[in-house]
Structure 1
Amino acid sequence: MEGNLAAALALRAETYGWRDHPLFYAGDVTYSHGEVHDAAIRAAGVMHAAGVRPGHRVLIALPDSIGFVTALLGTFRLGAVAVLTGPEQAEAGHAHVLADSRPQAAVCAPELAARFPSVQVLTAEDLTDEPAAVPDPARLPPDAPAYVQYTSGTTGPPKGAVHRHTDPEAYFEALAIGALGVTPDDVIFSLSKACYPYGLGATVFFPMFCGGSAVLWPDVPTVEGVLEQLRRHHPTLLFTVPTWYARLVGAAAEHEAVEHGAVEHGAVEHGAGGREGVFGSLRAVASAGEPLLPSLADRIEDVFGCPVLDGLGSTEVGHTFISNTVTRRRRGAVGLVLDPYEITVRGASESAEPGVLYVRGPSVMAEYLGRPEQTAEVLAPDGWLRTGDLVHVDEDGFVHHHGRIRDQLTVSGERVSPLEVERALGQHPGVVEVVVVDSADDDAALRAFVVLATGTMPAPELEAELLAQVRDRLPAHKVPRSVTFLAELPRTPMGKIHRATLR
């Protein structure tokens, strides 16, 4: 099997005695490590009978489910390459991935089959059939490609980052072990779906590498749905983006208000409260994808009763490579560089001045699929990846994020980092999320969009207060012309803020 990840994970479960341990909780059903690996072997047999061979690509468009996991592992076992895409993507998104990756087969729900013409289409149910024969795991070199994940597409058509069979163990050791200290007793719940980098690591690979378990939840997240999963499965680790932490903190605040009223009337019903409620099983929560405002981080820790670990990762690296940890964290920083990664900051004349972040490590992508010129723009022959982030590193080694190069704005002829303005607005206790963009009809003006905490009401007086707060901290050209209050910010399917929509 050599470098075959599916075979290596199955052997790991056998060697450490995990085969009978729970691996996935899916509604009322529990799947053990052994059951999942056995199901993946059957799936490999079905796909092999359908013509899938080493080096072929298999497009997988399934929700978080046992079918997704067995399709993924079955593809690995055959030495084929999994191409991951969200089943919720629009038809145009699927068409792009299909044309770009040119798969041999697709695994999807029956209602999506028509989107993938001219390829062999299988369903998750097909993969449960008993195959006539099951081939041995493909013998692969360590650098063999395993899966392709697409970038968010905020700066053009999504590009497929190619990752190897050895990549997941690298980012497991970095974040799961190095930052979170995972053990076989941990139950992981990720609101980011497994077709995307954050969820793939948290939901699929982390529990398989450590002998722990995870929640498989196919639904589109809602606050009530998340709370129900927390009540049912009692996870110890939660992974999501700042938006969802804000919503959960808001739900807890609403529950507290209701409970307070109930106490006054002599009736209390426990639900979405803080440490004593549905969040009581959590020992740590991880945040990534967007900047985490310090004010929101404080609220999360108050409500959840456990540390929130901000971090920085990318599709090109596979997962998080800089993070706060359960033993070392600093509010306002994205964390420490995690072993085995290394970073360098280029273009800064002083240590406290932001520069361009480069990262090197064993899980940095091999290439953008079929795009050698775009690969060469970000990935040097010596392995250094240009991330497009602006950062500085303080004297204690903590990395501070100053936004993305592509998000920088020109206002009145001067360059402005919107994150600097967003943090100034975010210091107000009523602000949980904020985005600053340039004005489409005035190149000398910025506009701010703000999501408020539960119980904070939008009003002209509040807008004036927020603008005055920025005026006290930053030069005049960095003060937004206006503040618009929104119930939520527009986002891509990967959960990133879609700034172009706000412009």
Structure 2
Amino acid sequence: MNLAATLERRCAERGWSQRPAVREPGRTWSHGAIHDLAGRAARILAAEGVRPGDRVLLALPDSAAWVVSFLAVARAGAVAVLVNPGLAAPEHTALVADCAPGLVLCPEALAGRFDVRTLSPTQLLDRAGRVNPVPAVPVAGTDPLYVQYTSGTTGDPKGAVHRHADPEAYHRYVGLGVLSISADDVTLSISKLHFAYGFGNAFVFPLFSGSSAVLLPERPAAATVAELVTEHRVTLLYGVPTSYAQLVAAGDRAAFGSVRAAVSAGEALRPELAARARELLGVPLLDQVGSTEAGHAFCANTVTEHRVGTVGRPVPGHRLRLLDSDGVAVPDEVEGELWVAGETVMTGYLHRPEETARTLVGGWLRTRDLAVRHGDGTYTLHGRVDDLEMVGGITLAPQPVEHLIEEHPTVAEAAVAARPDETGATRLHAFVVPVPGADTPTVDDLARWLDGRVAPFKVPRGVTRLAALPRTPTGKLRRFALREQGSHGGPARERTGTAPDTDGREASAAGRSGVA
């Protein structure tokens, strides 16, 4: 049940070979061309020494080459490790040490940071064009297909392992069950392929449905999204609340007439933003929740049934339960910790049996989300049990960023929290307690300090000076108090302006824009 063979056979049987699969700047690739090139690329991987069961790390921007590379790895019976190409060098180094790949597929500009063999997408595709395809290596549906990393409460990345059978289940339960995707759809996912959300949206659903996806190497700005939707007549739009807030702020209503469904995930969707997005897009904004460990969404509003302010009902193929701190099920309208069971839940974390045992208990995945179930069967999320932040739909552990900021010579203590700006987009904001007699570091100071040490989305876009960090009597940081504290009673200002500290002085918040 090799995924690459399954998709190639499905393409041939349903007559999709000439239909567009990937639309990227300057070129459109058909389904047939993608599968043919993947078969040839698998031969190149074998020539590079990749064997069934080996891990191949993909640190690639979204493109047809990403799609071909993943299919080639699958066809070779190897395991793809999907990572963000925009991570800093130390972060990539840590992931390589954890997963021990035999080969890294990455742009030439990144090759120097890896201490294992690398191959660029250009090299892979050029060489693939000169050889014949190879048949897919036979595997079972339960065999490992790919690993995606997620952050835990300690900040250490953990690799969730998924099987060859999982993507088809994502499509059956979400692609068809939630969105009724057909071969005529055109997808634009603002979230990238290396994330679980983007992987399902822009890789799995198009290839299983015979439809197409618009892929860009960079994260598009709001104006670019509007242009792409108009140019390609996009019907399915996927993003996080931050990206929809930016679209609403841009206000190009005429651009979205082709959109038949829009999906939000990754962080809490405020009802007022959902209402403004619906006015802009002309369709409801369908909120859902999923996780890297579950593979994709497990609770969702659908094109036929949605309730604003909730993440909908359990996706078919999944069961949910809410437990109190003693592990006892709670009734409707009572907050509990959310657990999920379903056939797409990961087999475990790579090389982390103890973490796996704590997260997978009796066939149930502990999500660490707090939620309430309503009488109609819908769910509303109430935050996290653990101490994680969401920035533009990307989960990050704040402690590693805080520790790096505290290494700055003028900083005694630091904390970071995600807060909305005036458009509703979430940004990471730093709160610092300077060393006695020192000036407060500016946003630009912190940007220079963190440059090359963390991914760009982890760099704070605002700074507030505090006399002391808010803590509980036992010394635990009260991060929620930082999230609620706004500049001049409102959200932190972005790109320009200033953020006042508690004793009236101001720290510059200029110079940085964009969101991860």
- For the aligned pair, the TM-score class normalised by the smaller chain equals 0.7 to 0.9
State the distance in 2 between where 1:436 and 1:115 align.
27
Q: Secondary structure of the residue that 1:151 maps to in structure 2? A: strand
Q: In the alignment, which residue of structure 1 is the partner of 2:407?
A: none
Structure 1 residues 372 and 135: alpha-carbon distance in aligned structure 2, compared to 1, 3 A threshold: same
By how many angstroms is 1:488 displaced?
A: 12
Q: In the alignment, which residue of structure 1 is the partner of 2:52?
A: 54
Q: In the alignment, which residue of structure 1 is the partner of 2:145?
A: 146
Q: In the alignment, which residue of structure 2 is the partner of 1:212?
A: 211
State the distance in 2 between where 1:450 and 1:488 align.
22
Q: CA RMSD in A?
A: 3.0
AA matched with 1:447: L
Q: Secondary structure of the residue that 1:290 maps to in structure 2? A: coil
Q: Which one of 282, 288, 306 corresponds to residue 259 of structure 2?
A: 282
Structure 1 residues 435 and 199: alpha-carbon distance in aligned structure 2, compared to 1, 3 A threshold: closer
Structure 1 residues 12 and 304: alpha-carbon distance in aligned structure 2, compared to 1, 3 A threshold: same
State the distance in 1 between where 2:175 and 2:512 align.
29
Structure 1 residues 490 and 324: alpha-carbon distance in aligned structure 2, compared to 1, 3 A threshold: farther
Q: Does 1:447 align with 2:464?
A: no
Whether contact under 8 Å (2:278, 2:285) holds in the other structure is yes
- Which ranges in structure 2 are unaligned for 5 or more consecutive residues? 390-418, 432-465, 473-477, 492-503
Structure 1 residues 188 and 296: alpha-carbon distance in aligned structure 2, compared to 1, 3 A threshold: same
State the distance in 2 between where 1:224 and 1:450 align.
31
Q: In the alignment, which residue of structure 1 is the partner of 2:496?
A: none
By how many angstroms is 1:228 displaced?
A: 2.3
Q: Secondary structure of the residue that 1:312 maps to in structure 2? A: strand
State the distance in 1 between where 2:103 and 2:428 align.
43
By how many angstroms is 1:344 displaced?
A: 1.3
Q: In the alignment, which residue of structure 2 is the partner of 1:420?
A: none
Q: Does 1:200 align with 2:199?
A: yes
Q: Secondary structure of the residue that 1:387 maps to in structure 2? A: strand
Whether contact under 8 Å (1:293, 1:432) holds in the other structure is no
Equivalence map 1:57-68=2 (5 Å): 57-68=55-66
Q: In the alignment, which residue of structure 1 is the partner of 2:84?
A: 86
Q: Deviations over 1:281-315 (max 9, x none)?
A: 10110000000000000000011111110000000
AA matched with 2:367: T
Q: In the alignment, which residue of structure 1 is the partner of 2:237?
A: 238
Q: Does 1:325 align with 2:302?
A: yes
Structure 1 residues 99 and 434: alpha-carbon distance in aligned structure 2, compared to 1, 3 A threshold: closer
Q: Does 1:173 align with 2:172?
A: yes
Whether contact under 8 Å (2:237, 2:263) holds in the other structure is yes
What TM-score does the superposition give when structure 1 sets the normalisation length?
A: 0.79
Q: Deviations over 1:203-228 (max 9, x none)?
A: 11101111111101112322222222
Q: Secondary structure of the residue that 2:376 maps to in structure 1? A: coil
Q: Does 1:399 align with 2:397?
A: no
Q: Secondary structure of the residue that 1:297 maps to in structure 2? A: helix
State the distance in 2 between where 1:245 and 1:57 align.
36
What TM-score does the superposition give when structure 2 sets the normalisation length?
A: 0.77
Q: Secondary structure of the residue that 1:124 maps to in structure 2? A: helix
Q: Does 1:383 align with 2:363?
A: yes
Q: In the alignment, which residue of structure 1 is the partner of 2:41?
A: 43
Whether contact under 8 Å (2:322, 2:330) holds in the other structure is no
State the distance in 1 between where 2:383 and 2:261 align.
25
State the distance in 2 between where 1:310 and 1:343 align.
17
Q: Secondary structure of the residue that 2:230 maps to in structure 1? A: helix
Q: Deviations over 1:225-267 (max 9, x none)?
A: 2222222212101111000100000001xxxxxxxxxxxxxxx
Q: In the alignment, which residue of structure 1 is the partner of 2:275?
A: 298
Whether contact under 8 Å (2:106, 2:118) holds in the other structure is no
Q: In the alignment, which residue of structure 2 is the partner of 1:307?
A: 284
State the distance in 2 between where 1:433 and 1:86 align.
21
Q: In the alignment, which residue of structure 1 is the partner of 2:339?
A: 358
Q: Secondary structure of the residue that 1:148 maps to in structure 2? A: strand
Q: Secondary structure of the residue that 2:256 maps to in structure 1? A: coil
Q: Matched residue pairs, number? A: 427
Whether contact under 8 Å (1:103, 1:119) holds in the other structure is no
AA matched with 2:111: A
By how many angstroms is 1:356 displaced?
A: 1.1
Structure 1 residues 90 and 65: alpha-carbon distance in aligned structure 2, compared to 1, 3 A threshold: same
State the distance in 2 between where 1:134 and 1:448 align.
53
Q: Deviations over 1:328-380 (max 9, x none)?
A: 11111111101011111112543211111111111100110011000101012
State the distance in 1 between where 2:196 and 2:387 align.
22
Q: In the alignment, which residue of structure 1 is the partner of 2:449?
A: none
State the distance in 2 between where 1:44 and 1:233 align.
31
AA matched with 1:74: A
State the distance in 1 between where 2:177 and 2:375 align.
21
By how many angstroms is 1:116 displaced?
A: 1.5
Q: In the alignment, which residue of structure 1 is the partner of 2:20?
A: 22
Structure 1 residues 486 and 180: alpha-carbon distance in aligned structure 2, compared to 1, 3 A threshold: farther
Q: Does 1:105 align with 2:109?
A: no
Q: Secondary structure of the residue that 1:14 maps to in structure 2? A: helix
Structure 1 residues 487 and 317: alpha-carbon distance in aligned structure 2, compared to 1, 3 A threshold: farther
Q: Which one of 8, 11, 26 corresponds to residue 10 of structure 1?
A: 8
Q: Secondary structure of the residue that 1:442 maps to in structure 2? A: coil
Whether contact under 8 Å (1:379, 1:386) holds in the other structure is yes
Whether contact under 8 Å (2:153, 2:386) holds in the other structure is no
AA matched with 1:441: L
More moved, 212-221 vs 287-296: 212-221
Whether contact under 8 Å (2:264, 2:286) holds in the other structure is yes
State the distance in 2 between where 1:233 and 1:487 align.
35
State the distance in 2 between where 1:324 and 1:450 align.
32
Structure 1 residues 450 and 490: alpha-carbon distance in aligned structure 2, compared to 1, 3 A threshold: farther
Whether contact under 8 Å (1:53, 1:80) holds in the other structure is yes
Q: Secondary structure of the residue that 2:49 maps to in structure 1? A: coil
Structure 1 residues 435 and 113: alpha-carbon distance in aligned structure 2, compared to 1, 3 A threshold: closer
Percent identity of equivalent pairs? 42
State the distance in 2 between where 1:240 and 1:4 align.
30
Q: Does 1:126 align with 2:154?
A: no
Q: Deviations over 1:8-31 (max 9, x none)?
A: 000000011111111111123111
Structure 1 residues 121 and 27: alpha-carbon distance in aligned structure 2, compared to 1, 3 A threshold: closer
Q: In the alignment, which residue of structure 2 is the partner of 1:370?
A: 351
